[in-house]
C-alpha cells in the first residue's frame, strides 16, 4: 500500500516506459503511516495525488501494464485505488 505524493515527467526514458503515467508513491502501513522511502510507480488505474493505492512489484508490475516491448523495465505498478482501511 502507498500514498501518491507526486508525479514524474521524464522526456528521455526507456522505450518500455513511453506512454506510462509515472507517480511518486510513499509506501504506508495500515494506519497510513510511512514505512520506507518514496519510489516511482507506473500508474495503471488513473490514481491522483493524495490517494491511497495498491502496489505490485517485480513480474506482477510488468504484467500489470500492457506493453509490446520485450524487455520491460517497470518494477513497480499502481493496480488499485484504496477506498478505506478496515482493521
Domains of the chain: which residue ranges?
A: 2-81
Q: What's the mean per-residue pLDDT of the chain?
A: 89
For domain 2-81, the CATH class is mainly beta
Confidence of residue 68 (pLDDT cuts 50, 70, 90): low
- Residues whose CB falls within 8 Å of the CB of residue 52, separated by 6 or more in sequence, listed in order: 1, 2, 3, 4, 28, 32, 81, 82, 85
Grid cell 484504496 — which residue?
A: 82
Confidence of residue 69 (pLDDT cuts 50, 70, 90): low
51 vs 21: CA distance, rounded Å: 15
pLDDT of residue 61: 75
Out of 3-7, 11-15, 32-36, least confident range = 11-15
Say whether pLDDT at 33 is over 90: yes
Going from the C-alpha of 13 to that of each of 22, 59, 75, the distances in angstroms are 11, 20, 14
pLDDT of residue 47: 97
Amino acid at each position: 500500500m502507498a500514498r501518491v505524493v507526486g508525479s514524474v515527467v521524464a522526456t528521455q526514458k526507456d522505450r518500455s516506459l513511453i506512454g506510462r503515467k509515472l507517480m511518486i508513491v510513499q509506501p504506508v502501513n495500515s494506519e497510513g503511516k510511512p514505512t520506507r522511502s518514496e519510489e516511482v510507480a507506473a500508474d495503471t488505474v488513473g490514481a491522483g495525488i493524495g490517494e491511497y493505492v495498491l502496489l505490485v512489484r517485480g513480474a506482477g508490475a510488468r504484467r500489470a501494464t500492457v506493453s509490446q516491448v520485450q524487455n520491460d523495465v517497470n518494477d513497480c505498478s499502481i493496480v488499485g485505488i484504496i477506498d478505506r482501511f478496515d482493521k
